[in-house]
Amino acid sequence: DETEHIQHVVTNHEPRDKAVAPQKLPLEQEQFSRTVKSCLPNLNDKCQTFIPADDTPRVAILAPPGDFGDWIFRWATKVVDSTRLGSTVNMDMQLVSHVPPYGYGKTHGWTKLIRILPRSLLLGAADAIRGSLKLGQTQNELTLKDLKAALRQLLRYHCRVSHLAAHTAVLTLEMDLLASAPYVASEGLLNFLNITAFQHGEREEDNMDIK
């Protein structure tokens, strides 16, 4: 039953401290995945990487308000700090919840965008709506109507990011990949940021875990 499944997702959503393994919605998720676009500069010379006047690349990690964005931002910071360059990397990386306006760097001011894609859109909607709760509100007050509205907003959110991928460098970071192959996800992030060397040649996946 759809209602029972949605209530289970909202009630049992604990991404801050635990690894989440939600049920997938195979057909819907597959159809949505076909619409997700990235733009990788090493594969497509049309991907713009605008550098601001101060020569500091600006990288946005895009995620709606919620635990997922905070979680991935901590992980990405740790990955960058695990390189030989570490904190000396000339880069301004920020977590932002709004999608930049359509265009490329001179329009929105970002060099590269990193989109966080939840394993399940339903779980992503649950995380987003929990992150938007007002002071004093609890998840017990959420209704099926609330979650459906959040799901529609999340779909529009990702469609807008895919639209940006026509001109701006965009990496789609799948949380499913991060959970199953953290080193592969870490290497993909560093390659996208043009950072490749780990400290002392380390390649252990444990170094990429989020604490």
Helices (H), 38-192: 67-81, 105-108, 121-131, 144-164, 175-180, 182-192
pLDDT tens track for 20-37: 444 545 566 677 778 899
What's the pLDDT score for residue 188? 92
* Residue 169 near residue 40, CB atoms below 8 Å: yes
**How many other C-beta atoms can be found within 10 angstroms of the C-beta atom of residue 5?**
13
Contacts of 180 (CB under 8 A, 6+ apart): none
Sequence-distant contacts of 40-46: CB under 8 A, at least 24 apart: 40/169, 40/171, 40/192, 41/169, 42/191, 46/167
Q: Given a cut of 80, is residue 141 above it in pLDDT?
A: no
Q: How many CA atoms within 13 Å lie on the side-chain side of 84? A: 8
Q: What is the mean pLDDT of residues 1-16?
A: 46
User: In 20-96, which ranges are E strands?
Assistant: 58-62, 92-96
Characterize the bridge pairing of strands 58-62 and 112-117.
Answer: parallel
171: its two tokens = 């990496």
- 208 within 8 A of 76, measured Cβ to Cβ: no
**Percent of the chain clearing pLDDT 90 (strictly above):** 25
pLDDT at 19: 45
Rounded CA-CA distance 142/52 in Å is: 42
Task: Give 95's pLDDT tier (boundaries 50, 70, 90).
Answer: very high
Q: How many residues does the chain have?
A: 211
Least confident of 117-121, 139-143, 165-169, 201-205: 201-205
pLDDT at 46 exceeding the cut of 50: yes
Does pLDDT of 80 surpass 60?
yes
| Integer CA distances (angstroms), 19 to 16, 22, 115, 121, in order | 8, 10, 20, 16
Q: Enter the tokens of residue 176.
A: 């499913």
pLDDT in tens, 96-129: 998 888 766 677 889 999 999 887 888 888 888 8
